[in-house]
Each structure stands twice: as structure tokens, then as C-alpha cells.
Structure 1
Amino acid sequence: MLTPAPLYRRRAAPPLRQQGIVLLVALVVLIGMTLAGLSLLRSVFTSNRIAGNLAFQQAATQSADVGIETAIAWLENNNTGTTLHQSRDAAGGELGYFARREDPGPGQSWEDFWQQVLVGSNRVNVLPPDAAGNTVAFVIHRLCNSVGDPLAGARCETSPLTKNEGNSQTALSPAFSAPQQQYYRITARVSGPRNTLSYVQVVVAM
């Protein structure tokens, strides 16, 4: 009689333990995406701030035109007589005007020169703030080495003396010479929102 072989039960494999690898990878990816988003957001804010500062700087530079045009109009109205031979201060509403040239010293910035010398001597003309909140102040320097009449000892920067030299077509025309013009330097300082500060200089001949 054959004895049946004993039946062996196959044991089920033990369940695999969760090692948490997927969760760890997901957290690393999430942190990377968060950092990338924050970096992009910061870049956008920085770009907007730079664009805004450039806009304020451009507006301040454009506002300087008002001070320059005001100074040119005053020079044109006082270009005759002896008004431009002497310096005038801004007290009593008079225009800030230097009859001789003054520049910043060695190592001195224009802002330091403006605050320490020009404002300190009370010869800065300040205009009312405009609609954009910019305040324009300006001074005029006659480019001469001293005050007084340019024809009586005060050496000044002047335009070249021009005259017709004559040629085959103007052999019989009378010789003439154009009067020399004095040079004036207008310096406009504009202060505005967000601590905006701009300097604009123009040299005119009259």
C-alpha cells in the first residue's frame, strides 16, 4: 500500500516593508519647486523695482529742463548792461548767479560742492515742486576767472572771433567780424521721490 506523500504548505512571502523612498523624493522635488518659485518671484520684484527707479530717474532728468529754461530766459533778459558782471544771491527772490567760475575741489563730488559751497553761500535758486514731486534747483556760472566787465580785465571763455576772409566771389564785399559771446554754465539739481537725485549741466553762449 502506497503511503501518500505529505503535503507541504507553501508559506506566503512576507510583505515588503515601506522604505519611504517615494515620499522622500516627493519632498525633495517639492522643496526644489518651492525654491525655484521664490527665486522667480524675487526676480520679478527686483525687475519691477529697477524699472520703477529708472522711471523716477528719467522723470527727474526731464524736470531739469524747467530749471535750465528758466535760467536761459533770465540770461537773455539781462544780457545787456552790467547785470551779469557781478554775482547775485537768491535772497529776496533774486536768481542765483555767479559772475565767475567755481568748480568742485579735488576729490569733491558735485553733491558735496552743492551742499557745502553753493547752498552755504545762499546763491541757489529753488523752484516749486512739480506735479511729479520733483524739486528743481539751479545756479548759473559765468565762465570767467573773475567778476567784472569781460572787456576790462575779467578773462572769460568766449566763442571764437569769426569774420569773412574773402574769396573770389566776395572780393569787393566789406570785411566784418561777429561779436564774441560769453559762455555760461547752468547746473540744475533735481531731487525727487525715492531719494532720486539728478544733475544736468548745460553751457550756453550769449
Structure 2
Amino acid sequence: MELLRQRRRMQLRSRESGSVLLIALIILIIITAATLSVVRSMDIGNVISGNFAFKQAAMQVSDRGITDATNNLAAIVAGGGGNADQANRYFSTRRNDVDSLGVPSAVNWSNVQCRDEDNNDCDADKDTGKYRVQYVIERQCSDNPVLSDPQSVKTNCDYEVREASPEQLAVRYRIIVRVRGPRNATGMVEAMVSGPVSS
């Protein structure tokens, strides 16, 4: 009888085929794959939020371009210079030929003056890890006015009457700012400002 029991035990042991081990390995592979997919999605989320942060910072730096353009406006229009285009810097009349962003097609950003965040000259196309600011000014006139004739300015330009001196007109200018930053994050901003007809 004892011998019979030992034979049954041997037969039961020989029937074990390792199915529990196989199931455990499959579950382990599934858990590993799930863990890897979670880690991968977190990496993608970090990259997206990092790129968004660079773009937001580029938009904030654009204020510098608007300020610089406003400060330089009087020098550009001085002595009747408001009626003369300056390539890749100033347009004396409103342009109808614009690209998909509304920027005049005549603008070649590679030739527009560039300043970095430290206010040094820079190459806009070279990623130095700093923000690079460029701007172009477009006077909102349909045609060049006679600068000394207020009626001509009113007829040809978008203007405002200055409260401090109603006899003096202020012409509207559109400032288009392009900022490029780390990882070539690019931001475009435009602002409408009022400025002198001539100085």
C-alpha cells in the first residue's frame, strides 16, 4: 500500500507542467509594459510643458521690442523721414501684400536688426540660448501724406488728436515684433501705438 501511495505522488509530480510559472511571467510582462508606458507619457508631458514655457517666455520678452520700437519711432520719422521706407525696419504706408501671419511680405527677418535679452546685437537665426528680439514698424497710412498739412495727414492716415494739444495729430503705427528663444521657440506680437507725424 505504501508503494502505491508513492507511485501516485510520482505521477502527480510528473503532471505538473509549470503553468503557474508561465502565468506569473505573463503578468510580470504586462506590469512592466504598463510601467514603461506611464514613464513614457510623463516624459512627453514634460517636453510639451517645457516647450510651452519657452513660448510663453518669448511672448513676455516681446514687450522689449515694442518699447524699443516706440522709443526709436521719433528718430525714424525725424526731418520728414516718415515718408521714406527703411528696408526691413520701417514702412511708410500700410502694406497689402502680407504673409499668413499678417506680416508684410517685404520683411526678410534674416536682415532685420536683432537684439538679445541683454540688449546686444545678435544673429536672429543662431540659437544662443538667449531670447532674440526683432521688430518692424508699419505706419498706418494708405499713401504718403504731406507732413506739414494736417488735412493731408487726416485724409491718408489713421490718426488721433492729442488731448494736450488738439492742433497736433498723432499717427498710428503698427509694431510687429518677432522673438526667438531657446529651442527655437518663436513668438509674434503686434501692437498699435500713436506717434508723431514728423519731428
**Smaller-chain TM-score range?**
0.7 to 0.9
Q: 2:132 aligns with which of 135, 140, 143?
A: 135
Query: CA distance change for structure 1 residues 21 and 120 in 2, over 3 Å: closer, same or farther?
Result: closer
SS in 1 for 2:159: coil
Following superposition, the deviation at residue 98 of structure 1 comes to 0.7
Distance in 1 (alpha carbons) for counterparts of 2:162 and 2:171: 14
Partner of 1:205: 194
SS in 1 for 2:50: helix
Could you tell me which runs of 5 or more consecutive residues in structure 1 were left unpaired when the two chains were aligned: 1-7, 91-95, 164-175
Q: 2:107 aligns with which of 97, 103, 118?
A: 118
Distance in 2 (alpha carbons) for counterparts of 1:43 and 1:120: 36
Distance in 2 (alpha carbons) for counterparts of 1:120 and 1:42: 37
Structure 1 residue 101 corresponds to structure 2 residue 110: no
Distance in 2 (alpha carbons) for counterparts of 1:120 and 1:162: 34
Is the contact made by 2:144 and 2:156 (CA closer than 8 Å) also made in structure 1? no
Is the contact made by 2:178 and 2:188 (CA closer than 8 Å) also made in structure 1? yes
Following superposition, the deviation at residue 78 of structure 1 comes to 5.4
Following superposition, the deviation at residue 182 of structure 1 comes to 1.2
Structure 1 residue 155 corresponds to structure 2 residue 130: no
Is the contact made by 1:97 and 1:139 (CA closer than 8 Å) also made in structure 2? yes
What amino acid does structure 2 have at the position aligned with 1:196?
Answer: A
SS in 1 for 2:135: strand
Query: CA distance change for structure 1 residues 10 and 89 in 2, over 3 Å: closer, same or farther?
Result: closer
What amino acid does structure 1 have at the position aligned with 2:94?
Answer: R
Following superposition, the deviation at residue 15 of structure 1 comes to 2.3
Query: CA distance change for structure 1 residues 200 and 37 in 2, over 3 Å: closer, same or farther?
Result: same
Percent of counterpart pairs with the same letter? 31
Show CA shifts across 1:38-86 (max 9, x none): 1111111111101110111112112211111110011245566422222
Structure 1 residue 185 corresponds to structure 2 residue 174: yes
Task: Normalising by structure 2, report the TM-score.
Answer: 0.73
Following superposition, the deviation at residue 179 of structure 1 comes to 4.4
Structure 1 residue 195 corresponds to structure 2 residue 184: yes
Is the contact made by 1:183 and 1:203 (CA closer than 8 Å) also made in structure 2? yes
Higher relative CO (Cα under 8 Å, sequence separation at least 6) belongs to: 2
Distance in 1 (alpha carbons) for counterparts of 2:39 and 2:175: 44
Is the contact made by 2:61 and 2:179 (CA closer than 8 Å) also made in structure 1? yes
Alignment of 1:1-206 (within 5 A): 11-12=4-5, 13=8, 14-16=11-13, 17-77=15-75, 81-89=79-87, 96-105=89-98, 108-110=99-101, 117-119=106-108, 124-127=112-115, 129-130=116-117, 132-149=129-146, 151=149, 152=152, 155-159=156-160, 177=166, 179-206=168-195
Is the contact made by 1:61 and 1:199 (CA closer than 8 Å) also made in structure 2? yes
Following superposition, the deviation at residue 155 of structure 1 comes to 0.9
Between the two proteins, the alignment pairs up a number of residues equal to 175
Higher relative helix content:
2
Distance in 2 (alpha carbons) for counterparts of 1:198 and 1:9: 88
Task: Normalising by structure 1, report the TM-score.
Answer: 0.71
Distance in 1 (alpha carbons) for counterparts of 2:186 and 2:17: 62
